[in-house]
Structure 1
Amino acid sequence: MAITTNASNTYDPTASAQALTDKYTADLQTRITEQTKAATATSAALTNLKMAMTSFTSSLLALTGTKPLLVQGATFSSTAVGSATATATAAAGTYSLFVEKVATSNQVSLGGIGGSAIPASGDGNLKIKLANNTDFTVDLSKANSDADQTLSATEIAAAINAEPNNNARVTASVITIGGVAQLVLTSTISGEEGAISVDASAMADGDLKTALGAAPKQLVAAQDAIIWIGGKPADPSDTSNRVKQSSNTFSNIDGVKMTFTKAQADGDTPITLTVALDTSATATNAQSFVDAYNKLKTVLDGLTDPGDPSSGKAAGTFSTDSGVRVLRDQLVRTLRETATGALATFGITAQRNGSLALDTVKLAAAVKANPTGLDKAIGNNSGGAPSGIAGKLDKYVELWTSSTGQLAQRETSVAKLQKTLTERQAKFETDYTTMYNRYKAQFTELQILQERMAQTTDMFDALFGNDKST
């Protein structure tokens, strides 16, 4: 009688242990994975929301915190003579101006300096004076930087520039003409008060004192700017409308700043300054307010979107979060409650979906009729005195963005959850390994037993394989 065995029930202990371990741990791993994925998505969504709200606040502050939305323009009839700007408080109108002179900074040169002997200590004090009664002294006995016992124009220029008491009022440089180096001094103080003079009287007699004490050559004269408001009168003794100053920037007209770059010639027609509402720049500011709000709302809409399963569109991360939906709805409600009147008058209206739209034609007409109304309606979100719609929106946003606000609380909560999930995953992996090793050891023992049984079966086959009796 022959005894036979079927080897098809052999198995791999490693594969069997892993399959059995996976079977008992799959549900737990799925839950941890899904929770981790959700926590990661929530963290990313909170970051996105925080960035959008912070950007919105910054945009409001940039638009309304320090400057008005209404822009007054100031232009010259000839841009060749200069440029002008106006604040929102500048009165509209036209002004006649004649630019007689523009202010210049004094520049002088001194020659014949190179190769002079180094003055002894106390004999090299060079004083440089300005017409505004300020001066400073340079000790040229310490100016020899290359130790060749002579002073060059370059070394003297470096000593002047490095003198601490100079305070950058005079800059020194060297210009070489026909092989001869000239020391050039330039005043950084505009106008007549910046006129330069050099006093070498305290220096010891010698070539250096002679060269520095000589009358300097005037390269650019120190000159004040002179303009005439209303045009230059025919009577030369009439200076009632003459304005003279060291700077080329004038602010004699309230709310207007004028900077001149070129003088007019005698007999030229006076230029005209026109101050008027800049509707284009004002519309740009208003559109920036609209865009800042719409950008925030777009982010909120995306985060709270319920999705559309029929089309495969996924829901937003906060689609079931009542707090974020309330934030979105409150912003829309705040805008609608305040915008239906004042803002609508200036062409800014809330649409059916809660976004804003700007009618530039209506805006232009409204600001002409009421120049200050737009800024009063929108207000500002400055920390000192927030007002208007910007102030109300910013106040509500701050409930979320402050250090103790909703965003900070939610970020702390999700960070704790992520830490917990990380710890759970680590424990899961440890438990998985323990379970796997236990099953592998058991299946390995079973495999050994199976092999022994197979060997026993082979032995019986060998003993009884030739038995013909059946």
Structure 2
Amino acid sequence: MASTSGISASTNFDIDSIVSSLMAVEQKPLTLLSQQKTSYQSKISAYATLQSSLSSFQTALANLSTSSKFNVQSATSGDSAVFTATSSGSATVSNYAIKVGQLAQSHKVATSNFSNTSAAVGTGTITIALGTYDEATNTFTANPDKAAKSVTISASNNSLAGIRDAINAGDMGVTATIVNDGQSGGGRLVLTSKESGEVNSIKVSIADADGDNTDSDGLSRLAYDPAAASGAGKNLVELQEARNAKLNIDGIDVESASNVVTGVLSGITLNLFKASPDTAVSLNVTKNVTAIKDSVTAFVNAFNAVNTTLRNLTKFDDSTTTAADRKNGALLGDATARSISSQIKMALTKSVGGTDNFSSLSQIGVAIQRDGSLALDSSKLEKAIETNLDDVAKLFAAVGSASDVETRFVTQGSKTQPGNYAINITQAATRGALTGSAAPDLNIVAGVNDTLAVKINGSSYNLTLAAGSYASVDELAQQLRTQLANAKSSAEVAVEGGMLKIISPEYGSGSTVEVTGGTAASSLFGSDPVSVEGLDVAGTINGAEATGKGQVLTSTAVGNPAEGLVVSVRGTATGDRGSISLSLGYAAQLNELVKGFVSDTGLLASRTDGLQDSIKRVTKQEEAIQVRLAAVEARYRAQFVALDVLMTQMQTTQSYLTQQLAAISANS
């Protein structure tokens, strides 16, 4: 049987060599497909490199695309050991002289020594209230923002250590610790208010199981009424009085319950560390030119990185005339890369309106070079920031200004054009509310009518009101307000026509208030309280349709220049609400442009998906050709094997004939 490969022993016929030569020709389409796939993969890799560079550019753009990014200020203390300061960016640029008369401190009281912290102290109820003690009038006034809290002491937790743990677990506005004072090996229970300031002085009331709530025996050893007599309700020792921080700012005396002082100087937070009553320490609030320069520098550097990436990916190698030796960029001649490059350059070179002093980047020291890169003149930029910060912000950011004091620019969309857009309101946003149907019962009894379950904007709150006879509906409203605040709700409580009213903190159709249960439900709100759902703002922007959600109105009119503009409209007035003047700086426009390149549905993602599909198609073509080539090779081998067999037979016949002819010749 003839061999299907190798060199025939009889014919010296090299089947492998012949088939390999023929298959090399047959495989040329496969080679072309492989080259095509490699080209696609190179482009995908190049697009990934470009996307990474553009994403870094977008990060730099984000730091300049909104006007708030330019509200950068430095608040510098002349002595950081006395105080430090931070600015929100909205403070007035100025210089202040500040004296710190005293620091705020927390109230601290302690028991006498207990010889054994594990021994029983007594049982009953401990109630801790925080408030202000006035020594001149010897009165204690409860802090209206902090409800008194109680904890029950039973036989299971009536040791000094147990009482400490019960107070700490009860979140009562104080921290309880046991301090070993070295006497008799026991310790003293120390109570420290968690927050500093005179409004957070401690008062401890005891309901002692032995019937005497103020003596120095049993649980009443822990009683502390600052207005009572020592040993008769004032049984703890004051270790540290509650104090407010006291400051003098440019000759004006100021007090704060905390050493973190806010609201005194608009936009400034002071952190107090040490008293300096006789020495004024300076506070300088200035523009943080360096931070703004750093953001612009980062923008220039990130753009130059994109420019370099695009140049490298689209370059033509003219160092050689041999096409095979050229090291061209992977995206040479690529329409997508060319489009991205031209759109970015077009955005950078066109003038920007909306500013009084600048219309191009070159006017603030950012100039385009011959190679397409940007160069920064730091001194020119610094001068522009120092003299015209608002216009520098408009040159980069999206800046919207409203003519109506209760209308505010929020943001713009990718299709929003700069311009002046009228706002007209047909429905002002409202908040959901619940109003009682009858005047409330001012007598709240523990276990009878002291609990209330409410649902506000879908969140449930379970409240327990302090028992007592309230002097007025306003006083009861304050108690309800306090309990809502303690439950971490920002809902408001008002009195309307002698009835209680809970108002949602949010605006819009999702704003609701409802009473869902509790023993105080009918006592506070009557049998048929009225619940009203909030309404979304409604109106038009630039004379076209807009969609409201809460107090936010968004232009949704396709093709309108204001499409995508978002504004916030407060107040109750309807009709003409002025206009929004919008300017879009370079960073704002480029940010939207680059977002369209790098997003999950953007230009690069679409192009990459297309190439991936092409690779899949080529792979299928390769697989089909591989199958066909296997069949072709098998056919070639079969044909040449048959030829080899035939030639072998012919050689045998030739040999036979030769022998026969030779024999005939020899016999003739």
Q: TM-score, normalised by structure 2?
A: 0.57
Q: Which residue of 2 aligns with 1:372?
A: 390
Does 2:230 correspond to 1:229? Answer: no
Distance (Å, rounded) in 2 between the aligned partners of 1:160 and 1:258:
32
**Overall identity of the aligned pairs, in %:** 28
1:417 CA drift (Å): 1.0
Paired residues of 1:127 and 1:138 also in contact (CA < 8 A): yes
Does 2:377 correspond to 1:180? Answer: no
1:11 CA drift (Å): 4.8
Q: Which amino acid aligns with 1:291?
A: N
Does 2:167 correspond to 1:160? Answer: yes
Question: Which structure features the higher share of helix residues?
Answer: 1
SS in 2 for 1:116: coil
SS in 1 for 2:266: coil
Q: Which amino acid aligns with 1:425?
A: E
1:456 CA drift (Å): 10
Q: Which amino acid aligns with 1:162?
A: A
Q: Which residue of 2 aligns with 1:261?
A: 273
Q: Give deviations 1:175-215, integer Å, cap 9, x for gaps.
A: 44535355444433232233333333255679761554474
Q: Give deviations 1:88-145, integer Å, cap 9, x for gaps.
A: 55333322211112223344444536213497xxx5533232222422223444966x
Does 2:328 correspond to 1:320? Answer: no
Does 2:371 correspond to 1:353? Answer: yes
Q: Which residue of 1 aligns with 2:35?
A: 34
Q: Which residue of 1 aligns with 2:196?
A: 190
Number of matched residues?
A: 441
Classify 1:386/1:11 alpha carbon distance in 2 versus 1 (closer, same or farther; 3 Å). Answer: farther
Q: Which residue of 2 aligns with 1:431?
A: 628
Classify 1:347/1:438 alpha carbon distance in 2 versus 1 (closer, same or farther; 3 Å). Answer: same
Paired residues of 1:16 and 1:440 also in contact (CA < 8 A): no
1:228 CA drift (Å): 0.9
Q: Which residue of 2 aligns with 1:413?
A: 610
Q: Give deviations 1:77-96, integer Å, cap 9, x for gaps.
A: 22211112335553333222
SS in 2 for 1:269: strand
SS in 1 for 2:269: strand
Structure showing greater relative contact order (alpha-carbon pairs closer than 8 Å, 6 or more residues apart): 1
Q: Which residue of 1 aligns with 2:316?
A: 306
Distance (Å, rounded) in 2 between the aligned partners of 1:322 and 1:421:
21
Q: Which residue of 2 aligns with 1:99?
A: 100
1:246 CA drift (Å): 1.4
Distance (Å, rounded) in 2 between the aligned partners of 1:118 and 1:431:
96
Q: TM-score, normalised by structure 1?
A: 0.78
Q: CA RMSD in A?
A: 4.1
Classify 1:408/1:278 alpha carbon distance in 2 versus 1 (closer, same or farther; 3 Å). Answer: closer
Does 2:106 correspond to 1:86? Answer: no
SS in 2 for 1:201: strand
1:375 CA drift (Å): 0.9
For structure 1, the 5+ residue unaligned runs are 145-149, 232-240, 461-468
Q: Which residue of 2 aligns with 1:138?
A: 151
Distance (Å, rounded) in 2 between the aligned partners of 1:348 and 1:18:
64
Does 2:254 correspond to 1:243? Answer: yes
Q: Which residue of 2 aligns with 1:389?
A: 586
Question: Which structure features the higher share of strand residues?
Answer: 2
Q: Which amino acid aligns with 2:199?
A: E
Distance (Å, rounded) in 1 between the aligned partners of 2:294 and 2:89:
15
1:263 CA drift (Å): 1.3
Distance (Å, rounded) in 2 between the aligned partners of 1:459 and 1:183:
127
Q: Which residue of 1 aligns with 2:431?
A: none
Classify 1:420/1:249 alpha carbon distance in 2 versus 1 (closer, same or farther; 3 Å). Answer: same
Distance (Å, rounded) in 2 between the aligned partners of 1:193 and 1:84:
24
Paired residues of 1:171 and 1:186 also in contact (CA < 8 A): yes
Q: Which amino acid aligns with 1:270?
A: A
Paired residues of 1:143 and 1:156 also in contact (CA < 8 A): no
Distance (Å, rounded) in 1 between the aligned partners of 2:199 and 2:371:
63
